[in-house]
Amino acid sequence: MSRRDIITLPDPLLRQVSKPVATVDASVRRLWDDMVETMYAAPGIGLAAVQVGEPRRLLVIDLAKEGEDKKPLFVANPEIFWESEQVSEYEEGCLSIPDFYEMVSRPSEVKLRFLDRQGAAQELHATGLLATCLQHEIDHLNGILFIDHISRLKRERVVKKFAKAQKLGKL
């Protein structure tokens, strides 16, 4: 396992749509292992492959709290096929947009299909923080960032800030 660099705003790769994986093979599992190591080191609770520069439809999530046993969820080719009408608000952040947090509303519950670490098809009914986190990470696979769900004014402000920081060579 090795830790990877996380790309940040305004890297154009963050806007790219990731490609499905054909099979869950050793190379996919190696990438997942790199992703969890990178996510734990950051630290964060979710990471999409595109954030380490690999636009493939892969993500990892671990909602275990500090001191709890790690419980990584490995997800390939996720597809949400149902979402609740009820919405929940959580304060979100993103490892690709460091030090910026905003409240985001999303469906409270989602059902999805995906391939697990063994390549087996799974269905999951996610609620609470897991539902929010899955939607945030699946957005990444479609080139969507959580700042796309906040007001235009706030989004333009943060985009400008990161563009300026990049120009000044601070990122």
* Residue closer to Ni ion, measured from CB, 25 or 98: 98
Is 66 catalytic? The answer is no
* Residue closer to Ni ion, measured from CB, 119 or 134: 134
Report the nearest approach of Ni ion to the CB of residue 21 (Å).
20
Distances (CA, A) of 14 to 31, 69, 87, 131: 18, 31, 26, 21
Assess contact for 10 and 162: CB atoms under 8 A: yes
Among 35, 52, 94, 133, binds Ni ion (CB under 5 A): 94
Q: Which of 86, 80, 88 is nearest to 105 (CA)?
A: 88
Report the nearest approach of Ni ion to the CB of residue 124 (Å).
19
Residue from 68, 91, 102, 137 carrying the catalytic annotation: 137
* Residue closer to Ni ion, measured from CB, 95 or 120: 95
For residue 26, give every residue at least 6 positions away whose Cβ sits within 8 Å of its Cβ, in sequence order, or none.
Answer: none
Give yes or no for residue 36 binding Ni ion (CB under 5 A). Answer: no
User: What is the torsion angle, in degrees rounded to the nearest 10, for the CA atoms of residue 70, residue 102, residue 105 and residue 77?
Assistant: -50
For Ni ion, the binding residues (CB under 5 A) are: 94
Active site residues: 137
